[in-house]
Structure 1
Amino acid sequence: MSRECVVGLDVGTQGARALAVDAAGRVLAAASQRLPERAGPPLPPGWSEQEVDSWWEAARACLQQVGAQVAPERMVAIAVTATSGTVVPVDAAGRALRPALMYNDARAVEEAAQVQEAGRALAAKLGYAFQAPFALPRLLWIRIHEPELFERTACFLHAADYLVLRLTGELGLSDSSNALKTGYDLLELCWGKWIERDLGIPLAKLPRVTAPGTRIGAVSAAAARETGLSPGLAVAAGATDGTAAFLASGAIAPGEWNATLGTTLVVRGVSRDLVRDPAGRIYCHRHPEGYWLPGGASSTGGEWLERRFAGADWPALDRQALALSPTPLTVYPLARRGERLPFVAPAAEGFIEAPAGTETGALYAAHLEGTACLERWVFEVMESLGVPVGPRIHVTGGAARSREWLQIRADLLGRTLVRPQVVEAAFGAALLAAAGTLHSSLSAAVRAMVHPECAVEPRPALRDAYEALYARFREACARRGYG
């Protein structure tokens, strides 16, 4: 049996996580490190920033711990994943010139409209719209509001790019997954001249882009001293955290889909063809092996748990809900204003159609059902756009831990739900590191390393009852003009 392994590193909003994984998908070592709370004066409303040095400190601590559990000479490659749309301007020496503008920073609303106007041809070609959460509007914001810093910037990096810089010492390396939100053309595989011509952002300030999983460098002697990794260890191009988590779900072939249900519902699948949505609900990443990864995020998910059932015994309510479902109630469990998938409605609000005095258990069950109804609707949208959805959905996210909720979702979707053993973005990064090292390709790595923990089948005897429940849900939404 091979003793070789790969390392996946994930640096998110709250902390860092590193895994050492062997060719069979066994986790040999794991480490986590929280990021410190942001210091300094409060930011204006809607702004979100982080000190990039804290990323490296957390990453370094995780890698040291992993190296203490697994001999570094067993490691053959490392890949990094981090937040999507985060922007780090650095100088020619690779020093960050300001705190990172994070993926959830909302300051660049006006700039997003300017980028959309300038990049409308690319947006139409790739079937999406530039929005404030994208990275390119943040670059434009810096050019307009921090012009001196903009001039001193040698390269604008994404979060994962900055960590690759710290590992390799090489400036300006990125991947197509992260570059999407900076306006990279996924069809022509280049930066469009319009970025420089119409937005005033020199292409020389943008990183070189490769496919995720491609070897892009090696761990430098300096990084080896700081992390305990072996100097010369191969560094593979990573991906956004969403793409890495998708890979970790086990979905890899056309027609296979992943649904991640946490605070919100995020779906992503594999398609042979680029999928364009005139309504702007979805966008496509490029699969490293040439396929497309259509997907999108709903504004609805599990947020209602904390909003409406805070402090409750959720596992007990899950068990009660399965006994009560299907209920005669109708709930659209949107916890805040505005929906983006399966329909776009900035003024949409959730609703509850239930008699006064309905018991907590039944109301909770109806919320589970409503979330599953919305999930089914999302997959119907995908199919309406010509994207096949297979009979099995790979499920991840906090909600996937509840077997009862999985059963209700399977019943309403009419599909088998498969939960993998390891559900982490760091594991997805390890899969990218394994492509071409432990395995011949990314697909081969996913098939060999991702293993199902459980599969939940729909219950045929309840099919008609759930069909009626779903029809009621859609009718209730239609009465309010939703969809």
Structure 2
Amino acid sequence: MYLGLDLGTSGLKGVVIDDDGNVLAQESVSLVVTSPHATWSEQDPESWWQACIDVIQQLQQRLDLSKLKALGLSGQMHGATLLNKQGEVLRPCILWNDGRSQAQCASLMAQFPELIERSGNLAMPGFTAPKIRWVQENEPEIFDQLAFVLLPKDYLAYRLTGLMSSDCSDAAGTLWLNPQTRQWDDTLLAATGLTQAHMPIVYEGCDLIGVLSDSAAKLLGLPQLPLVAGAGDNAAGAVGMGITNPGQGFISLGTSGVYFTVSESHKANPLNTVHAFCHALPNRWHQMGVTLSAANSLSWFAKLVDKSVAELLDALEDSELTQTNVLFLPYLSGERTPHNDPLANGQFVGLTNTTNTPAMTLAILEGVAFSLLDCQNALDSAGSYVDELSLIGGGARSAMWRQIIANVLNKRLIYRDGGDVGPGLGAARLALLGEQQSQGKEIEALIAEYCTLPEVLEVHEPNGVQASYYEHKYALYQAVYQATKGLNDALAQLSS
């Protein structure tokens, strides 16, 4: 058996697979995000470790984990976990959806014009490097103690093994890695006052990095398993869905929304806010468009009206509503693709006395689909076109939402078995690949054997009946952002 641990924003999930790659069990524990100030988003790394302990205990009640052969990790990208020389956490982790470092992004771009060429990406508040510049300028007493910077899943690896490690898919999202060389770049590190001494060793995602320490194995009740480097959540999700070859792609409808395509080389297109990163497997790269609040938009609204997400979707289906004059911009945490605007606001437009909950729910589903169309247009401009897309993530469970996205993107969407397992399955597959590779087996043959596409559950072909409706509404969606951008900036200054 092989264990994959996926450290997400809202929870940590554990997935166990057998030697054939079949899912045997999965368990999860919720996590809490704090926002002490506007645009801030933080988590306590100790909560990750406690969640890891709890998930493994839950799995042990279902399976004999003494039979595990290897462990893999995936996790939310970009988070800045800061440690001192003793390996102690200096402050809460600044997460991927934290927008406080907008000014630091601007200064980095102005002072280091080579940043775009060397990293292949724009400086965005979500990335790790601007966060460190913010700490340097606003918390100098923390920066002076800084000895190591780890990404969230790599902090778990450190707690499990005592080793400082990362993988090139996750590390590419820091702005310190050169995706062409797949290693840290000294010039990029120097831009934020760091050197390679502050950084973990970078591996390919399926490389073994070490074994569980004596103390961790005893605490968790596990054998001293080998651990692979793992992957950022989206690259791990791709491995879990068998999206490993150029020309393949998927959409993830998690807290954020991701439009992911695989390429045979590093294809940077930063001016269109395309993220160009390394894949978790050797000799592969990927491009992403990211919308920061996908399924989170629906969860936010459900909480606001004191309903569950399932109740909202059921009420919409019962209403038989397929069109609405209500428009929603899902910018609850700012937006990346295509705006790179941490101050963008979520908005409902077109509300009247007769507006009801189903109309607002439909507007949210459409708004997230339009944000994914923004991503698709940006990726197309980067030469990352795909004919069809697989879907993963919690939001993908809604057949209605899947069809709306197919209609808006005018793209064939395939909902596959295991789509709700996602990155955790990918982490477990990486563990399997690493353990098999350590026995002398060739990695490309292993990828072909184990990283297969899951069974098709449902296919959604685009329905052209409402094509003119979506086309017109998408134009309004784009126009509303442009028309209100100045107001959003003013409101942000007012609240600060």
Output the TM-score relative to the length of structure 2: 0.82
What is residue 418 of structure 1 aligned with on the other side?
414
Q: 1:340 to 1:90 in 2, by over 3 A?
A: closer
Q: 1:118 to 1:242 in 2, by over 3 A?
A: farther
Q: 1:226 aligned to 2:226?
A: no
CA shift for structure 1 position 62: 2.0
CA shift for structure 1 position 52: 2.4
Aligned pair partner of 2:380 in 383, 388, 411: 383
Output the aligned Cα RMSD. Answer: 3.3
* Amino acid paired to 1:454: L
The superposition leaves residues 322-356 of structure 1 with CA deviations (integer Å, 9 ceiling, x where unpaired) of: x553x4x5554214476543456766875656998
For 1:264 and 1:50, the matched residues in 2 are separated by 17
Output the TM-score relative to the length of structure 1: 0.84
Q: 1:24 to 1:52 in 2, by over 3 A?
A: same
For 2:395 and 2:145, the matched residues in 1 are separated by 45
* Amino acid paired to 1:30: Q
For 1:344 and 1:155, the matched residues in 2 are separated by 28
What is residue 240 of structure 1 aligned with on the other side?
232
Aligned pair partner of 1:208 in 194, 198, 201: 201
Q: 1:330 to 1:341 in 2, by over 3 A?
A: farther
CA shift for structure 1 position 210: 1.1
Q: 1:399 aligned to 2:402?
A: no
What is residue 55 of structure 2 aligned with on the other side?
62
CA shift for structure 1 position 126: 4.3
Mark the runs of 5 or more structure 2 residues left unpaired by the alignment.
438-442, 484-496
For 1:190 and 1:137, the matched residues in 2 are separated by 19
CA shift for structure 1 position 13: 3.4
For 1:481 and 1:30, the matched residues in 2 are separated by 40
CA shift for structure 1 position 32: 2.6
The superposition leaves residues 192-251 of structure 1 with CA deviations (integer Å, 9 ceiling, x where unpaired) of: 2224544322321112111112111111222110111112x1100012223323333332
* Amino acid paired to 1:114: S
What is residue 466 of structure 1 aligned with on the other side?
466
What is residue 152 of structure 2 aligned with on the other side?
159
Matches within 5 A, 1:280-319: 280-287=272-279, 288-299=281-292, 301-302=294-295, 303=297, 306-307=300-301, 310-311=305-306, 313-319=311-317
Q: 1:295 to 1:195 in 2, by over 3 A?
A: closer
CA shift for structure 1 position 187: 1.1
CA shift for structure 1 position 79: 1.1
For 2:360 and 2:181, the matched residues in 1 are separated by 50
Report sequence identity in percent: 27
SS in 2 for 1:69: coil
The superposition leaves residues 149-173 of structure 1 with CA deviations (integer Å, 9 ceiling, x where unpaired) of: 4344332222212211121122x21
Does 238-247 or 289-298 show the bigger shift? 238-247
Contact 1:10-1:426 within 8 A present in 2 as well: yes
For 2:466 and 2:131, the matched residues in 1 are separated by 45
Q: 1:320 to 1:202 in 2, by over 3 A?
A: same
Does 336-345 or 157-166 show the bigger shift? 336-345
For 1:12 and 1:339, the matched residues in 2 are separated by 19
CA shift for structure 1 position 46: 3.8
What is residue 17 of structure 1 aligned with on the other side?
13
Contact 1:412-1:466 within 8 A present in 2 as well: no
Q: 1:444 aligned to 2:448?
A: yes
What is residue 269 of structure 1 aligned with on the other side?
261
Contact 1:56-1:166 within 8 A present in 2 as well: yes
What is residue 456 of structure 1 aligned with on the other side?
459
SS in 2 for 1:435: helix
CA shift for structure 1 position 77: 1.0
Q: 1:350 to 1:178 in 2, by over 3 A?
A: same
Contact 1:298-1:340 within 8 A present in 2 as well: yes
SS in 1 for 2:263: coil
SS in 2 for 1:24: coil
